Every structure is written in C-alpha cells, then in structure tokens.
Amino acid sequence: MARVKGEKECDVCSEIFRIKNMKKINQTYYCHSCHTKYRRDKRKKLIEESLDKEIIKELDKKIREEMPCFKRRKEYARKYYLTKRKKQGNEYKEDKTYEPKIKKKVKIKSNSYITLEERQNILRILMSRGMDFEEAKERISNLIKEQRRVRTQMIEEGKKEGEINKYFKEAFNELTA
C-alpha cells in the first residue's frame, strides 16, 4: 500500500494514519484506539501490582462521580430516555433527584444604601471639612447603621419602596451639599 507523506503505519494494528494523530511510546507508534487499549491494560496491571488496590478503586470511583463529563453523560442519557418515551407515547417516571437550574434574579438597585463611590465622596467632603481619616470612616459607618435602622422603621410603618428611596436620595443630597 502506498503511503502519502506525513502518514505512518500503526505498529500494533498495521493501519495507516496521519502522524499527527498517532502516539509514540517507547519507539512504537500507536493509533488512537490501540493507544487507549495500551493505557487501559497498563493501568490494570499497575493496580494489580500495587498494594492498595481497594483504596485506588474507591478513589477512582469518587473521581468519576465528581467529573463534569460523566455528569453530562448521565444527564444526556436521562434526557434521551425521556424524549424517547414521549415519542413512543409511553408513560415514564421522572427522577425525584433532578433539580432544574435556578435562574438568577435581576437585582433592582435600591437607593437606600450608600454605594462605594458615594462613600468615597462623603469621605472626601468630611476630610476637607477638617476631620481625620479614622473619624470620617467611623462617621460613615455610623451613617450606614442609622440608614439601616431608619429603613427598617419605615418598612414597619408600611411605606412603599419608592418613598423610602426618595427619602434617602434627599438625605444624601443634603449630606453632600
């Protein structure tokens, strides 16, 4: 059989493959399928020769359960089974263990809390008025605590979120002015 440049014959099964798809181990070239067989046999031999066979088997089992590719295969098999049953019109049982992915909730920005930029602005203003860094920092933390207290109080009174936000916007404008 004539070989093209860049191709080589597998030393085990004697089929012709591209060199870039072959593996070279101990001066012998293996195709993909022969290489996997070689690695599998070598792994079995190493496990049999080792002293801790049970420990290795337990660890191997744990790794297989935790690997995402095996989880994906399991999930794919489950979905395939369900769709096949639906097409045939047969009844099927859903797994109770399956949990759908939880969608993230979009957070609405509440103006009732001081953001990092606002904190930095307040810190600059307080320091320009003649306060030390530590005193200004303490004052800001007290402001935040007071803000939380007022917010819970307003919620208990039954005020709406829009009213609370408007109140805190006005209070912040007074602080920075």
Predicted confidence band at 177 (pLDDT cuts at 50, 70, 90)?
low
- Whether residue 102 is contained in a domain is answered as no
- Whether residue 38 is contained in a domain is answered as yes
Across 131-156, average pLDDT: 87
Across 131-158, average pLDDT: 87
Expressed as residue numbers, the domain containing 120 is 116-176
Same domain? 120 vs 163: yes
Same domain? 56 vs 39: no
Q: Which residues of 52-72 are buried (b: 16+ CB within 10 A; e: fewer)?
A: eeeeeeeeeeeeeeeeeeeee
Same domain? 7 vs 42: yes
Same domain? 5 vs 44: yes
pLDDT: which is higher, 77 or 127: 127
Same domain? 32 vs 58: no
- Whether residue 111 is contained in a domain is answered as no
CA nearest neighbour of 38 among 29, 69, 48: 29
Which residue has tokens 């994906």? 72
Same domain? 142 vs 154: yes
Look at the chain and report how many structural domains it folds into. Answer: 3
Joined together, the tokens standing for residue 87 give 């097409």
Tell me the three state secondary structure of residue 78: helix
Same domain? 44 vs 58: no
Which residues of 49-165 form beta strands (DSSP E)? none
Residue 160 has pLDDT above 50, yes or no: yes
**1-15, 28-42, 104-118: which has the minimum mean pLDDT?**
104-118
Average per-residue pLDDT for the chain: 79
Note whether 49 and 28 are within 8 A (CB).
no
Same domain? 72 vs 35: no
Q: How far is CA 160 from CA 8, 73, 106, 111, in A?
A: 77, 49, 20, 13
Model pLDDT for residues 90-122, shown as the tens digit of each residue:
555 555 565 656 666 666 555 556 778 888 888
Same domain? 17 vs 42: yes
Note whether 162 and 108 are within 8 A (CB).
no
Distance between CA atoms of residues 13 and 17, nearest Å = 11
